[in-house]
Amino acid sequence: MITKTAAVLAGALLALPLATAPAGAAPEPVAVLTLAEAIEQLPSAPENREGYQRTSFKHWVDADRNGCNTRAEVLVAESQVRPTIEARCRVVAGEWFSYYDGVTVTDPGGLDIDHVVPLAEAWDSGASKWDAARREAYANDLTVEASLAAVTARTNRSKADQDPADWMPPLADARCTYLADWVGTKLRWRLAVDDAERAALVDLSGGCGEQIDYEPAP
């Protein structure tokens, strides 16, 4: 089965409140769920796009101030060869595997950095209630590799803001990984699913063996 370059299976998740551990206490073990179990953990709510603007999510920032914005960071991390980087962290060459369609790309101009759960979908699913700082953190989430993916611009634009009820990667071998990335991202950020989305996730994930590690977003 094809998996993302430079990525492990879906990162991310647990919708549990953060608590302060007693001094000296051992960290709690990371919870691992099957994909089916993870889908059951997703909260349910109807979607609402009222008020959405893409500019509500400030993205492609240089959060760690190392001179490279989020797009460049993903290109560097996912290149299968040492990328060529010019001044101001401009990535001009490398080799990337677009796991949605199984295409290898050497010109970064042919790639989009996809928010696995699109910004509009995140807004619909709960991000409309977040403050600007949390939306910026979501849009530039480099902590978990499943959140963002370098893929061909063609497949990213065919996906647009659709959820798995309406769009899946054209490469069949990529679909279980994509579902795990989607569910992992939603759980990580405590984003809800509506009835149609949940039904599609259950139906499409039949036979998938992916597991999901919980890592709640800060």
Q: How far apart are CA 192 and CA 182, in angstroms?
A: 12
- Has residue 4 been placed in a domain? no
pLDDT tens, 100-137?
Answer: 999 999 999 999 999 999 999 999 999 999 999 999 99
- Has residue 99 been placed in a domain? yes
More confident position, 78 or 216: 78
Residue 140: strand pairing partners: none
- Has residue 16 been placed in a domain? no
- Has residue 115 been placed in a domain? yes
- Has residue 86 been placed in a domain? yes
- Has residue 14 been placed in a domain? no
Judge whether 120 and 159 are in contact, CB under 8 Å. Answer: no
pTM given for the model:
0.86
Q: pLDDT confidence of 177, banded at 50, 70, 90?
A: very high
Q: Which domain holds residue 135?
A: 32-213
- Has residue 186 been placed in a domain? yes
> CA of 21: how far to CAs of 18, 26, 115, 178, in Å?
9, 8, 32, 34
State the DSSP H helix or E strand holding residue 195, giving kind and residue range, or none if neither. Answer: helix 195-204
Give residue for tokens 């677009």.
98
pLDDT of residue 14: 27
Domain total in the chain: 1
pLDDT tens, 189-212?
Answer: 999 999 999 999 999 999 999 999
- Has residue 70 been placed in a domain? yes
The one-character DSSP state at 26 is: P
Among 116, 77, 112, which Cα is nearest to 98's? 112
